[in-house]
Amino acid sequence: MTISERPIAEKVLVIACGMIAREVLALREQLGLQHLELTCLPADYHYYPDRIPPALDAAIERAKAEGYRNIFVGYADCGTGGALDQVCERHGVERVAGPHCFAFYQGLEVFAVHEEADMTAFYMTDFLCRHFDAFFMKPLGLDRHPELINDFFGNYEKLVYLAQTEDPALERVAQNAARLLDLAYERRFTGYGDLAQALKTAAR
């Protein structure tokens, strides 16, 4: 029996934020975790953290009904104020450690070093670079009303691009975004940070 032919009960289902789907799939290939499967909640829940816990609760219930015994949550707390942990505890599942993806991409120890200095940082990731227009320009109306930029971003001082990959095209997006928003620019190559170890541990 090959890994892909394992019964559902022996597979590991990751229920993740749509913002990290590409990264989870990349790590699955990189780490040879072919028994790991992925399903995602909508990426725009990033803006509506109150929607994450009930949606996750329902997704876990569905997965259990389908026969999955091994479930891992591909979210940090992500602004839920502990509500996500309550869902995880109720179902007996684990999640990625940390307050948000910006922390676990850097690694929690590195994030702790930068945390105070980053209080006025606007973070971008590979995903947010790929979808800058869809996630920021259009929803906030900045493509039509650039005069609103200061209203939304006036309290930030720098844009920090947390790069998961070496991609010059994505870096150009981040640099252009920093200029548009009138923010200082900093790039930190993080790779996949703590997400890699979290998935390896979950997939044992």
State pLDDT tens for residues 94-153.
Answer: 999 999 999 999 999 999 999 999 999 999 999 999 999 999 999 889 989 999 999 999
- C-alpha to C-alpha distance for 87 and 65, rounded to whole angstroms: 17
The pLDDT of residue 9: 73
Instruction: At 87, list the tokens.
Output: 């869902």
Which SS3 state, helix, strand or coil, does residue 54 take?
helix
Q: What is the largest CA-CA distance in the chain?
A: 61
Q: CA 200 → CA 1, 185, 197, distances in Å?
A: 22, 33, 5
Residue ranges of the alpha helices (H) in 32-167? 52-66, 83-91, 101-106, 108-114, 126-130, 132, 149-153
User: Which residue segments constitute the domains of the chain, with CATH numbers given?
Assistant: 3-101+193-202 (3.40.640.10), 107-189 (no CATH)
**pTM greater than 0.75:** yes
Count CA atoms within 13 Å of residue 6 on its CB side: 17
Q: What is the pLDDT along the chain (204 residues), one digit of tens a residue?
A: 445 566 887 899 999 999 999 999 999 999 999 999 999 999 999 989 999 999 999 999 999 999 999 999 999 999 999 999 999 999 999 999 999 999 999 999 999 999 999 999 999 999 999 999 999 999 889 989 999 999 999 999 999 999 999 999 999 999 999 999 999 999 999 999 999 999 999 998
